[in-house]
């Protein structure tokens, strides 16, 4: 699969910029927390759901979840790593693991139906519309790069011009439709044909903060084109048998039934996208080894496309006081399988901009909980 070239679909389109946004469970947790949900999509919440339902106590996946809770692990990637260890360390057959996974799969779909309800989706959409959060994500996100030097190291802003096409491809690693709902271009925030004499449909701000050294001022708006699409490589809540849990690519033919890239057909469906991506955005992802296929493909995409950029968002937790942009680049390199590789670290230093944020920081990209826009967002 390649990116579709939308320029011929519009009347006066110039260049097209492909933006791949990879979104993990951190988004769902953020959205549910902001809506006051009594539960969320953390694996610990699912564990309590299984115990309440008196789920099969001999299920190996449940036992792994119990063990992880005691060790302080908190990400779904930790669970998936444990699934891999059942085969590689405990020598459990892939068939037996797959059978246990199917039991979990069914219950996880029931769990999600109680968390991401139609009421939750409706309230999330109403919040997005009331504060124009969706359209701000699409048109003002470069303002999240608060440091002028970091902003000026990006290739994308200097390439943009009036009449360009912004083609967003959201890779939603979540099984819910919370992200789909939030980025939906509704009738209140967006109109496909707002002008009589032009088919351009958005105004994009390439330099919202007004960073010095940029070719554009803070006030400059580009009348442009917007296209957006969401894919769920790991399955969707509404189709329980599509929900994928498992490990990264494996060479063992028997073990590949546990491989997410194999069943999601990553190479076939998404492999061609990476060299043609102009900007990668990673948000709400734990950068676990079980999604290594994606992190490695991003690194290779950055290598192959000299003009490509990456923005990595990372939410500061209570134990992240010492976290730095450098350590996050190292974490991404390690997740991609390039631990200590100086060439990859230099590549990420050159191309990866890091946005370290917390709940108090002004931010527009996929910010579901803002009731007031940052002061640099133009009405």
- Which residues, at least 6 apart from 14, have a Cβ–Cβ distance to it below 8 Å? 7, 161, 162, 163, 164, 165
Task: State the chain's mean pLDDT as an integer.
Answer: 92
Beta strand 279-283 pairing with 309-315? parallel
Tell me which DSSP letter residue 152 carries: H
Q: Is the pLDDT of residue 351 over 80?
A: yes
Over residues 115-121, mean pLDDT = 96
Residue 121: how many CB atoms within 10 A of its CB?
19
- At residue 371, the pLDDT reads 80
Whole-structure pTM value: 0.95
- At residue 78, the pLDDT reads 76
**Under 8 Å between Cβ of 237 and 176:** yes
Over residues 109-135, mean pLDDT = 95
**Under 8 Å between Cβ of 226 and 203:** no
Q: How confident is the model at residue 321 (pLDDT cuts 50, 70, 90)?
A: confident
φ, ψ at 203 (rounded to 5°): -115, 115
- Over residues 34-86, the pLDDT tens digits come to 999 989 998 889 888 998 999 999 999 888 888 887 776 677 777 777 787 88
Sheet holding 279-283, edge to edge: 202-204, 222-231, 165-172, 16-23, 279-283, 309-315, 352-357
- Over residues 245-297, the pLDDT tens digits come to 888 888 777 678 888 999 999 999 999 999 999 999 999 999 988 899 999 99
Beta bridge partners of 315: 357
Q: Is the pLDDT of residue 182 over 90?
A: yes
The burial of 290, by beta-carbon neighbours within 10 Å (0-12 exposed, 13-18 middle, 19 or more buried), is given as buried
The burial of 91, by beta-carbon neighbours within 10 Å (0-12 exposed, 13-18 middle, 19 or more buried), is given as exposed
Residue in this structure with the two tokens 């919040």, named with its chain if needed: 127
- At residue 254, the pLDDT reads 60
- At residue 73, the pLDDT reads 67
- At residue 91, the pLDDT reads 84
């Amino acid at each position: 699969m390649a990116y579709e070239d939308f320029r011929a679909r519009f009347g006066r389109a110039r260049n097209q910029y492909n933006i791949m946004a990879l979104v993990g469970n951190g988004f769902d947790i953020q959205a549910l927390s902001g809506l006051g949900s009594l539960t969320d999509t953390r694996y610990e919440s699912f564990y309590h759901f299984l115990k309440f339902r008196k789920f099969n106590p001999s299920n190996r996946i449940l036992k792994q979840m119990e063990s992880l809770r005691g060790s302080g692990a908190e990400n779904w990637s930790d669970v998936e790593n444990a699934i891999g260890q059942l085969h590689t360390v405990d020598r459990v057959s892939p068939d037996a693991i797959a059978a246990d996974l199917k039991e979990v799969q069914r219950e996880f779909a029931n769990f999600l139906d109680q968390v991401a309800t139609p009421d939750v989706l409706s309230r999330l959409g109403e919040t997005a519309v009331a504060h124009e959060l969706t359209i701000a994500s699409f048109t003002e996100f470069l303002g999240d790069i608060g440091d002028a030097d970091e902003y000026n190291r990006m290739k994308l802003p200097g390439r943009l011009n009036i009449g360009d096409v912004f083609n967003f491809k959201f890779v939603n690693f979540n099984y819910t439709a919370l992200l789909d709902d939030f980025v939906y271009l509704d009738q209140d925030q967006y109109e496909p044909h707002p002008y009589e004499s032009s088919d351009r449909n958005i105004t994009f701000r390439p330099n919202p903060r007004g960073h010095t050294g940029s070719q554009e001022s803070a006030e400059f708006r580009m009348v442009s084109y917007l296209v957006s699409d969401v894919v769920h490589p790991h399955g969707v809540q509404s189709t329980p048998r599509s929900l994928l849990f498992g490990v990264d690519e494996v060479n063992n033919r028997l073990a590949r039934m546990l491989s997410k890239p194999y069943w999601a057909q990553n190479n076939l469906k998404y492999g061609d996208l990476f060299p043609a991506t102009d900007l990668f955005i990673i948000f709400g992802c734990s950068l676990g080894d079980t999604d290594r296929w994606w992190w490695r493909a991003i690194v290779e995409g950055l290598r192959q496309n000299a003009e490509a950029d990456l923005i990595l968002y990372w939410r500061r937790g209570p134990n992240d006081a010492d976290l730095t942009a450098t350590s996050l680049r190292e974490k991404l390199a390690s997740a991609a399988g390039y631990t200590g590789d100086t060439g990859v670290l230099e590549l990420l230093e050159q191309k990866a901009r890091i946005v370290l944020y917390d709940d108090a920081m002004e931010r527009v990209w996929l910010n579901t909980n803002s009731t007031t826009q940052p002061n640099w967002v133009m009405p």
